Amino acid sequence: MKHSIRTFEMALAFSAMFLFPAVANAMEPPTDYLQYCSSCHGKGGKGDGPLAANMKTKPADLTTISHYYDGKFPTQKMRQTISGAATDRTNTQFHGPVDMPVWGKVFRDQSGDSIAEARIDLLVEYIESIQK
């Protein structure tokens, strides 16, 4: 039974790749980025989305994250921040305090754990692809 559940979870995660297409290049953000992130961070991730001008804290420029980590993109830290697993959200260099919604919870509520993880992976992949 345990094997069947794991196989089912893997099939769901694999099907998520078709529901949420992988990023071909930095010019094509995934659907979740456009729907949940671009209004604040901008389509290109520079923190210049249509809502940015009205925000108390300017959204982070997502294209410069690697700069703060000696040129190495912090994949795991990004996954944790988006998913809500980060324990230091009040000190996050690339996002600031808890101003950003925890999209991982939203994704899990919408589509379950396996697909939510695939969605988060696509967001992290895209953000990594737009680093300067």
Query: Angle 60-25-40 (CA atoms, 0-180°, nearest 5)?
Result: 25
pLDDT value at 68 more than 70: yes
pLDDT value at 5 more than 80: no
The pLDDT-based confidence of 88 (bands split at 50, 70, 90) is low
Half-sphere exposure of 23 (CA within 13 A, CB side): 23
Q: Sign of torsion, CA 121 11 103 83?
A: negative
Q: Sign of torsion, CA 60 62 65 67?
A: negative
What's the pTM value of the predicted model, to 2 decimals?
Answer: 0.73
How far is residue 8's CA from residue 74's CA, in Å, rounded to a whole number? 30
How far is residue 91's CA from residue 20's CA, in Å, rounded to a whole number? 30
